[in-house]
Amino acid sequence: MKIEVFEMERWQSQWENVVEYNLAESGVDPLTVEELLGGPEAVQELGRRQMLYNQGNGTLELRNLISHFYPGATRENVLVTHGTCEANYLAIWRLVEPGDDVVVMLPNYMQIPGLARGFGARVMPFRLREDRSWAPDLDELNRAVTPRTKLIAVCNPNNPTGSVLSEAAMDEIVSVARRAGSWLLADEVYQGAERSGQTTPSFWGRYEKVIVNNGLSKAYGLPGLRIGWTVAPAELIFELWSYKDYTTIASSVLSDLLARRALDPAMRERIFARTRSILQRNYPLLEEWINGHGADFSLVPPAAGAIAYLRYRHSINSSQLMERCIREQSLLVVPGDHFGMDGFIRLNYGVPPDHMHAGLDRLDRVLSTVGEQKGVGGQGPGFRHQAQTG
Protein backbone atom coordinates (compact mmCIF):
# COMPACT_ATOMS: atom_id res chain seq x y z
CA MET A 1 0.00 0.00 0.00
CA LYS A 2 1.29 3.44 -0.94
CA ILE A 3 0.44 6.30 1.34
CA GLU A 4 0.54 10.05 0.79
CA VAL A 5 3.07 12.06 2.79
CA PHE A 6 1.61 13.38 6.05
CA GLU A 7 3.13 16.79 5.42
CA MET A 8 2.80 18.39 8.83
CA GLU A 9 4.19 15.41 10.74
CA ARG A 10 6.97 14.94 8.17
CA TRP A 11 8.15 18.51 8.70
CA GLN A 12 7.76 18.33 12.45
CA SER A 13 9.66 15.06 12.62
CA GLN A 14 12.47 16.58 10.61
CA TRP A 15 12.71 19.93 12.34
CA GLU A 16 11.07 20.14 15.76
CA ASN A 17 14.16 19.05 17.68
CA VAL A 18 16.59 20.83 15.36
CA VAL A 19 15.38 24.44 15.21
CA GLU A 20 16.07 26.96 17.95
CA TYR A 21 12.46 28.16 18.12
CA ASN A 22 9.57 25.80 17.73
CA LEU A 23 6.16 27.45 17.42
CA ALA A 24 4.76 24.47 15.53
CA GLU A 25 3.60 22.37 18.47
CA SER A 26 -0.07 22.28 19.43
CA GLY A 27 0.15 21.36 23.11
CA VAL A 28 1.50 23.22 26.12
CA ASP A 29 5.06 23.21 27.38
CA PRO A 30 5.51 19.55 28.51
CA LEU A 31 5.81 18.48 32.13
CA THR A 32 9.01 16.93 33.40
CA VAL A 33 9.03 13.38 34.81
CA GLU A 34 9.89 14.88 38.19
CA GLU A 35 6.87 17.18 38.12
CA LEU A 36 4.64 14.24 37.29
CA LEU A 37 6.10 11.94 39.92
CA GLY A 38 6.16 14.60 42.58
CA GLY A 39 8.31 12.85 45.20
CA PRO A 40 10.98 10.27 46.06
CA GLU A 41 8.50 7.46 46.74
CA ALA A 42 7.11 7.58 43.26
CA VAL A 43 10.64 7.79 41.83
CA GLN A 44 11.55 4.64 43.75
CA GLU A 45 8.45 2.87 42.49
CA LEU A 46 9.46 3.77 38.96
CA GLY A 47 12.93 2.41 39.63
CA ARG A 48 11.55 -0.94 40.74
CA ARG A 49 9.61 -1.55 37.55
CA GLN A 50 10.68 -4.61 35.65
CA MET A 51 11.07 -3.94 31.96
CA LEU A 52 8.58 -6.58 30.84
CA TYR A 53 5.90 -6.40 28.18
CA ASN A 54 3.05 -4.37 29.54
CA GLN A 55 -0.52 -5.71 29.38
CA GLY A 56 -1.31 -5.32 25.65
CA ASN A 57 -4.56 -3.38 25.91
CA GLY A 58 -3.33 -1.35 28.92
CA THR A 59 -3.31 -2.31 32.60
CA LEU A 60 -6.63 -2.82 34.34
CA GLU A 61 -5.89 0.19 36.53
CA LEU A 62 -5.23 2.49 33.60
CA ARG A 63 -8.28 1.31 31.65
CA ASN A 64 -10.44 1.71 34.76
CA LEU A 65 -9.20 5.25 35.27
CA ILE A 66 -9.89 6.15 31.64
CA SER A 67 -13.33 4.55 31.64
CA HIS A 68 -14.42 6.76 34.55
CA PHE A 69 -14.23 9.82 32.31
CA TYR A 70 -16.86 8.30 29.97
CA PRO A 71 -20.22 7.74 31.69
CA GLY A 72 -21.55 4.25 31.02
CA ALA A 73 -18.17 2.92 29.86
CA THR A 74 -16.22 0.16 31.59
CA ARG A 75 -12.65 -0.95 31.03
CA GLU A 76 -14.02 -3.31 28.33
CA ASN A 77 -14.77 -0.20 26.30
CA VAL A 78 -11.17 1.04 26.51
CA LEU A 79 -8.04 0.19 24.55
CA VAL A 80 -4.80 1.95 25.50
CA THR A 81 -2.76 2.93 22.45
CA HIS A 82 0.59 4.41 21.50
CA GLY A 83 -0.68 7.99 21.40
CA THR A 84 -3.90 9.18 19.86
CA CYS A 85 -2.31 8.61 16.48
CA GLU A 86 -2.34 4.82 16.99
CA ALA A 87 -5.95 5.00 18.15
CA ASN A 88 -6.83 6.80 14.90
CA TYR A 89 -4.75 4.41 12.85
CA LEU A 90 -6.32 1.26 14.28
CA ALA A 91 -9.86 2.56 13.75
CA ILE A 92 -9.24 3.50 10.12
CA TRP A 93 -7.35 0.29 9.40
CA ARG A 94 -10.16 -1.83 10.86
CA LEU A 95 -13.10 0.03 9.37
CA VAL A 96 -12.17 1.48 6.00
CA GLU A 97 -12.29 -0.69 2.86
CA PRO A 98 -11.48 0.26 -0.73
CA GLY A 99 -14.42 2.12 -2.26
CA ASP A 100 -15.89 3.30 1.06
CA ASP A 101 -16.93 6.90 1.52
CA VAL A 102 -15.37 8.68 4.46
CA VAL A 103 -16.57 12.17 5.38
CA VAL A 104 -14.03 14.29 7.24
CA MET A 105 -14.22 17.64 9.00
CA LEU A 106 -11.76 20.09 7.40
CA PRO A 107 -9.47 21.67 8.31
CA ASN A 108 -8.18 18.87 10.50
CA TYR A 109 -5.13 17.00 11.66
CA MET A 110 -4.55 15.29 8.33
CA GLN A 111 -3.83 11.78 9.61
CA ILE A 112 -7.34 10.42 9.08
CA PRO A 113 -7.90 11.81 5.58
CA GLY A 114 -4.44 10.60 4.49
CA LEU A 115 -4.93 7.13 5.95
CA ALA A 116 -8.47 6.75 4.63
CA ARG A 117 -7.29 7.61 1.12
CA GLY A 118 -4.39 5.18 1.58
CA PHE A 119 -6.84 2.40 2.44
CA GLY A 120 -8.76 3.18 -0.75
CA ALA A 121 -11.61 5.34 0.48
CA ARG A 122 -13.15 8.31 -1.25
CA VAL A 123 -12.68 11.17 1.21
CA MET A 124 -15.23 13.95 1.17
CA PRO A 125 -14.97 17.12 3.24
CA PHE A 126 -17.35 19.06 5.38
CA ARG A 127 -15.79 22.34 6.31
CA LEU A 128 -15.49 24.58 9.27
CA ARG A 129 -16.19 28.07 7.98
CA GLU A 130 -14.02 30.99 8.92
CA ASP A 131 -16.89 33.36 8.07
CA ARG A 132 -18.93 31.58 10.77
CA SER A 133 -16.18 31.66 13.40
CA TRP A 134 -15.19 28.15 12.34
CA ALA A 135 -18.62 26.62 12.93
CA PRO A 136 -19.23 23.61 10.65
CA ASP A 137 -21.15 23.78 7.42
CA LEU A 138 -23.85 21.29 8.35
CA ASP A 139 -25.56 21.59 4.97
CA GLU A 140 -22.34 20.39 3.40
CA LEU A 141 -22.23 17.51 5.91
CA ASN A 142 -25.81 16.57 5.06
CA ARG A 143 -25.02 16.59 1.36
CA ALA A 144 -21.83 14.54 1.76
CA VAL A 145 -23.20 11.75 3.97
CA THR A 146 -25.12 8.96 2.26
CA PRO A 147 -25.84 5.31 3.12
CA ARG A 148 -22.47 4.59 1.45
CA THR A 149 -20.65 6.55 4.15
CA LYS A 150 -18.66 4.18 6.34
CA LEU A 151 -17.32 6.78 8.71
CA ILE A 152 -17.63 10.44 9.66
CA ALA A 153 -14.49 11.84 11.32
CA VAL A 154 -14.46 14.94 13.47
CA CYS A 155 -11.83 16.61 15.58
CA ASN A 156 -13.31 18.44 18.57
CA PRO A 157 -11.83 20.73 19.85
CA ASN A 158 -10.45 21.25 16.38
CA ASN A 159 -6.88 21.32 15.17
CA PRO A 160 -5.90 23.79 13.65
CA THR A 161 -8.66 26.33 14.38
CA GLY A 162 -9.07 25.69 18.12
CA SER A 163 -12.84 25.86 17.66
CA VAL A 164 -15.31 23.80 19.68
CA LEU A 165 -18.59 22.44 18.30
CA SER A 166 -21.83 23.74 19.79
CA GLU A 167 -24.24 21.23 21.37
CA ALA A 168 -26.59 21.81 18.43
CA ALA A 169 -23.83 20.99 15.93
CA MET A 170 -22.90 17.85 17.88
CA ASP A 171 -26.55 16.75 17.84
CA GLU A 172 -26.79 17.33 14.12
CA ILE A 173 -23.58 15.40 13.40
CA VAL A 174 -24.88 12.47 15.46
CA SER A 175 -28.23 12.51 13.73
CA VAL A 176 -26.58 12.58 10.29
CA ALA A 177 -24.40 9.59 11.28
CA ARG A 178 -27.42 7.74 12.66
CA ARG A 179 -29.44 8.36 9.51
CA ALA A 180 -26.64 6.87 7.39
CA GLY A 181 -25.75 4.11 9.89
CA SER A 182 -22.11 5.21 9.65
CA TRP A 183 -19.46 5.16 12.35
CA LEU A 184 -18.64 8.45 14.01
CA LEU A 185 -14.99 8.86 14.99
CA ALA A 186 -14.32 11.79 17.32
CA ASP A 187 -10.69 12.75 17.91
CA GLU A 188 -10.96 14.63 21.22
CA VAL A 189 -7.26 14.99 22.03
CA TYR A 190 -7.60 18.73 22.76
CA GLN A 191 -10.36 18.15 25.34
CA GLY A 192 -9.24 19.73 28.61
CA ALA A 193 -7.17 22.43 26.89
CA GLU A 194 -9.96 25.01 26.79
CA ARG A 195 -8.98 28.59 27.59
CA SER A 196 -12.24 29.11 29.46
CA GLY A 197 -11.69 26.06 31.63
CA GLN A 198 -15.01 24.63 30.47
CA THR A 199 -14.30 21.06 29.37
CA THR A 200 -15.57 20.23 25.90
CA PRO A 201 -18.30 17.58 26.06
CA SER A 202 -17.50 14.20 24.55
CA PHE A 203 -19.36 12.44 21.76
CA TRP A 204 -19.27 9.33 23.94
CA GLY A 205 -22.76 8.06 24.86
CA ARG A 206 -24.57 9.99 22.12
CA TYR A 207 -24.78 7.15 19.58
CA GLU A 208 -24.06 3.40 19.52
CA LYS A 209 -21.47 3.63 16.75
CA VAL A 210 -19.22 6.26 18.31
CA ILE A 211 -15.46 5.86 18.61
CA VAL A 212 -13.75 8.42 20.84
CA ASN A 213 -9.99 8.83 20.66
CA ASN A 214 -7.94 10.84 23.09
CA GLY A 215 -4.54 10.91 24.74
CA LEU A 216 -2.09 12.67 27.02
CA SER A 217 -0.16 14.72 24.46
CA LYS A 218 -2.05 18.02 24.44
CA ALA A 219 -4.22 19.00 27.41
CA TYR A 220 -1.97 17.00 29.75
CA GLY A 221 1.35 18.24 28.35
CA LEU A 222 2.75 14.70 28.16
CA PRO A 223 3.45 13.96 24.48
CA GLY A 224 6.63 12.05 25.33
CA LEU A 225 4.67 9.36 27.19
CA ARG A 226 3.04 8.30 23.92
CA ILE A 227 -0.17 7.26 25.65
CA GLY A 228 -3.56 7.50 23.98
CA TRP A 229 -6.79 5.54 24.05
CA THR A 230 -9.88 4.50 22.18
CA VAL A 231 -13.29 4.29 23.81
CA ALA A 232 -15.80 2.34 21.72
CA PRO A 233 -18.31 -0.52 21.88
CA ALA A 234 -16.70 -3.51 23.63
CA GLU A 235 -16.83 -5.81 20.56
CA LEU A 236 -15.03 -3.24 18.45
CA ILE A 237 -12.47 -2.62 21.19
CA PHE A 238 -11.70 -6.33 21.29
CA GLU A 239 -11.13 -6.36 17.52
CA LEU A 240 -9.00 -3.22 17.61
CA TRP A 241 -6.84 -4.86 20.27
CA SER A 242 -6.14 -7.73 17.89
CA TYR A 243 -5.13 -5.16 15.25
CA LYS A 244 -2.77 -3.62 17.79
CA ASP A 245 -1.00 -6.99 17.98
CA TYR A 246 0.31 -6.06 14.52
CA THR A 247 1.42 -2.53 15.37
CA THR A 248 2.90 -1.85 18.80
CA ILE A 249 1.74 -4.88 20.90
CA ALA A 250 1.70 -2.89 24.13
CA SER A 251 2.61 0.46 25.65
CA SER A 252 5.77 0.76 27.69
CA VAL A 253 5.38 -0.24 31.37
CA LEU A 254 6.86 3.11 32.37
CA SER A 255 4.38 5.06 30.28
CA ASP A 256 1.46 3.06 31.63
CA LEU A 257 2.60 3.78 35.18
CA LEU A 258 3.13 7.49 34.54
CA ALA A 259 -0.19 7.73 32.71
CA ARG A 260 -1.94 6.28 35.76
CA ARG A 261 -0.31 8.97 37.82
CA ALA A 262 -1.45 11.71 35.40
CA LEU A 263 -5.01 10.41 35.30
CA ASP A 264 -5.43 10.10 39.03
CA PRO A 265 -8.35 12.55 39.48
CA ALA A 266 -6.53 14.99 41.79
CA MET A 267 -3.40 15.05 39.62
CA ARG A 268 -5.51 15.40 36.47
CA GLU A 269 -7.15 18.49 37.93
CA ARG A 270 -3.74 19.93 38.78
CA ILE A 271 -2.45 19.24 35.29
CA PHE A 272 -5.50 20.81 33.63
CA ALA A 273 -5.14 23.85 35.90
CA ARG A 274 -1.50 24.17 34.80
CA THR A 275 -2.51 23.89 31.14
CA ARG A 276 -5.21 26.52 31.54
CA SER A 277 -2.88 28.88 33.35
CA ILE A 278 -0.36 28.65 30.50
CA LEU A 279 -3.08 29.33 27.93
CA GLN A 280 -4.56 32.20 29.91
CA ARG A 281 -1.18 33.79 30.57
CA ASN A 282 0.06 33.50 26.98
CA TYR A 283 -2.98 34.19 24.84
CA PRO A 284 -3.13 37.93 25.68
CA LEU A 285 0.57 38.18 24.78
CA LEU A 286 -0.07 36.64 21.40
CA GLU A 287 -3.13 38.81 20.91
CA GLU A 288 -1.05 41.91 21.68
CA TRP A 289 1.49 40.86 19.07
CA ILE A 290 -1.26 40.30 16.49
CA ASN A 291 -2.94 43.63 17.28
CA GLY A 292 0.42 45.35 16.84
CA HIS A 293 0.35 44.25 13.19
CA GLY A 294 -2.79 46.15 12.15
CA ALA A 295 -4.51 44.45 9.24
CA ASP A 296 -1.66 42.03 8.52
CA PHE A 297 -3.39 39.19 10.33
CA SER A 298 -6.85 38.11 11.26
CA LEU A 299 -7.73 35.49 13.82
CA VAL A 300 -10.92 33.91 15.07
CA PRO A 301 -9.94 33.53 18.74
CA PRO A 302 -9.33 29.84 19.50
CA ALA A 303 -11.41 28.30 22.29
CA ALA A 304 -9.05 25.41 22.95
CA GLY A 305 -5.60 24.03 22.23
CA ALA A 306 -2.43 26.11 22.42
CA ILE A 307 -2.89 26.97 18.75
CA ALA A 308 -3.80 30.09 16.84
CA TYR A 309 -4.75 29.73 13.19
CA LEU A 310 -3.89 33.08 11.66
CA ARG A 311 -4.85 34.37 8.27
CA TYR A 312 -2.02 36.54 6.95
CA ARG A 313 -2.02 39.07 4.15
CA HIS A 314 1.60 38.96 3.05
CA SER A 315 2.46 37.98 -0.50
CA ILE A 316 4.10 34.67 0.22
CA ASN A 317 2.93 31.11 0.00
CA SER A 318 2.63 29.53 3.45
CA SER A 319 5.08 26.66 2.75
CA GLN A 320 7.62 29.11 1.36
CA LEU A 321 7.18 31.21 4.46
CA MET A 322 7.79 28.16 6.67
CA GLU A 323 10.89 27.20 4.71
CA ARG A 324 12.30 30.71 5.00
CA CYS A 325 11.58 30.71 8.73
CA ILE A 326 13.50 27.47 9.14
CA ARG A 327 16.50 28.36 6.96
CA GLU A 328 16.86 32.05 7.87
CA GLN A 329 15.66 32.15 11.48
CA SER A 330 15.78 28.56 12.81
CA LEU A 331 12.05 28.90 13.54
CA LEU A 332 9.37 26.29 12.89
CA VAL A 333 5.74 27.29 12.25
CA VAL A 334 3.01 25.25 10.53
CA PRO A 335 1.94 26.50 7.10
CA GLY A 336 -1.75 26.50 6.17
CA ASP A 337 -0.71 24.41 3.15
CA HIS A 338 -0.39 21.47 5.54
CA PHE A 339 -4.13 21.72 6.07
CA GLY A 340 -4.83 22.33 2.38
CA MET A 341 -5.32 26.06 3.09
CA ASP A 342 -2.74 28.56 1.88
CA GLY A 343 -2.79 32.04 3.41
CA PHE A 344 -2.74 30.75 6.99
CA ILE A 345 -0.13 29.80 9.57
CA ARG A 346 -0.66 27.91 12.79
CA LEU A 347 1.25 29.25 15.78
CA ASN A 348 1.73 27.62 19.17
CA TYR A 349 1.29 29.82 22.21
CA GLY A 350 1.81 27.08 24.82
CA VAL A 351 5.56 27.71 25.18
CA PRO A 352 7.25 29.94 27.79
CA PRO A 353 6.59 33.64 27.00
CA ASP A 354 10.23 34.55 26.30
CA HIS A 355 10.47 31.66 23.83
CA MET A 356 7.24 32.75 22.18
CA HIS A 357 8.33 36.38 21.91
CA ALA A 358 11.72 35.44 20.51
CA GLY A 359 10.03 33.17 17.96
CA LEU A 360 7.55 35.88 16.97
CA ASP A 361 10.42 38.39 16.58
CA ARG A 362 12.05 35.99 14.16
CA LEU A 363 8.81 35.58 12.26
CA ASP A 364 8.62 39.40 12.07
CA ARG A 365 12.11 39.49 10.58
CA VAL A 366 11.05 37.22 7.74
CA LEU A 367 7.70 38.93 7.20
CA SER A 368 9.29 42.38 7.12
CA THR A 369 10.96 41.40 3.86
CA VAL A 370 7.69 40.29 2.27
CA GLY A 371 5.15 42.70 0.80
CA GLU A 372 1.43 42.68 1.16
CA GLN A 373 -0.48 41.27 -1.74
CA LYS A 374 -4.11 41.97 -2.40
CA GLY A 375 -5.98 38.77 -3.00
CA VAL A 376 -3.52 36.50 -1.21
CA GLY A 377 -4.96 35.48 2.11
CA GLY A 378 -8.00 37.57 1.16
CA GLN A 379 -11.60 36.58 1.59
CA GLY A 380 -13.25 33.20 1.30
CA PRO A 381 -12.68 29.80 2.85
CA GLY A 382 -9.14 29.52 1.47
CA PHE A 383 -9.22 25.76 0.84
CA ARG A 384 -6.86 24.35 -1.75
CA HIS A 385 -8.89 21.16 -2.14
CA GLN A 386 -12.41 22.15 -3.06
CA ALA A 387 -13.35 18.50 -3.41
CA GLN A 388 -11.23 15.56 -2.44
CA THR A 389 -11.63 12.19 -3.91
CA GLY A 390 -9.96 8.87 -3.49
- Interface segment toward ligand PLP; rule CB under 6 A; list 51-59, 82-90, 94-102, 261-269: 82-90
C-alpha–C-alpha distance, residues 365 and 326, integer Å: 12
Q: Does 256 bind ligand PLP (CB under 6 A)?
A: no
SS (H, E, C) 159-183: CCCCCCCCHHHHHHHHHHHHHHCCE
Does residue 202 belong to the site contacting ligand PLP (CB under 6 A)? no
Residues within window 365-384 making contact with ligand PLP, judged by CB under 6 A: none
Closer Cβ to ligand PLP, 185 or 366, answer by number: 185
Min dist CB 86 to ligand PLP, Å, is 7
> Which residue from 136, 162, 228, 350 is in contact with ligand PLP, where contact means CB under 6 A?
228
Please give the Cα distance from 136 to 171 (Å, whole number).
12
Establish if 84 lies at the interface with ligand PLP (CB under 6 A). Answer: yes
Nearer to ligand PLP, 215 or 377 (CB): 215
Q: Which of 85, 90, 115, 212 binds ligand PLP (CB under 6 A)?
A: 85
3-class state of residue 211 by DSSP:
strand
The CB-based long-range contact list for 297-301 (8 Å cut-off, 24+ gap) reads 300/130, 300/133, 300/134, 300/161, 300/163, 301/162
Phi-psi region at 357: left, alpha or beta (left = phi > 0; alpha = psi -120 to 50): alpha
Q: Which stretch binds ligand PLP (CB under 6 A): 83-91, 113-121, 324-332, 338-346?
A: 83-91
Among residues 58, 125, 221, 223, the one that binds ligand PLP under rule CB under 6 A: 223
What count of other Cβ atoms lies within 10 Å of the Cβ of residue 246? 9
83 scored as a contact of ligand PLP (CB under 6 A): yes
CB of 84 to ligand PLP, least distance (A): 3
- Residue 275 CA from chain centroid, whole number: 15
Residue 87: CB minimum distance to ligand PLP, A? 8
H-type alpha helices, the chain: 7-15, 33-37, 40-48, 60-67, 83-95, 111-118, 138-144, 167-180, 234-244, 253-263, 265-291, 318-329, 353-367
The sign of the torsion formed by the CA atoms of 186, 198, 65, 81 equals positive
d(CA 39, CA 178): 49
CA separation for the pair 262, 281 (Å, rounded): 23
What is the C-alpha separation between 266 and 65, in angstroms, rounded?
A: 12
**Part in contact with ligand PLP (CB under 6 A); list of ranges 14-22, 77-85, 320-328, 339-347:** 77-85
Q: Is there binding between residue 217 and ligand PLP (CB under 6 A)?
A: yes
Residue environment code for 165-196, b if the CB has 16+ CB neighbours within 10 A, otherwise e: beeebbebbbebbeebebbbbbbbbbbbbbbe
Minimum separation from the CB atom of position 108 to ligand PLP (A) = 7
Q: Which is nearer to ligand PLP, 85 or 96 (CB)?
A: 85
When the beta carbons of 103 and 189 are compared against ligand PLP, the nearer one is 189
Binding of ligand PLP at residue 26 (CB under 6 A)?
Answer: yes
Quick note: the x/- pattern for ligand PLP over 145-184, rule CB under 6 A, is ----------x---x-------------------------
The reply to whether 114 sits near ligand PLP by the rule CB under 6 A is: no
Q: Report phi then psi at 210, rounded to 5.
A: -100, 140
In the bound state with ligand PLP, the residue whose beta carbon lies nearer, of 88 and 367, is: 88
Q: Residue 36: how many CB atoms within 10 A of its CB?
A: 20
Q: Which of 85/104 has CB closer to ligand PLP?
A: 85
Question: Is residue 187 a contact point for ligand PLP (CB under 6 A)?
Answer: yes
Choosing from 6, 11, 69, 109, the residue that interacts with ligand PLP (CB under 6 A) is 109
Cβ closer to ligand PLP: 83 or 343?
A: 83
Give the residues lining the site for ligand PLP (CB under 6 A). 26, 83-85, 109, 155, 159, 187, 189, 215, 217, 223, 228
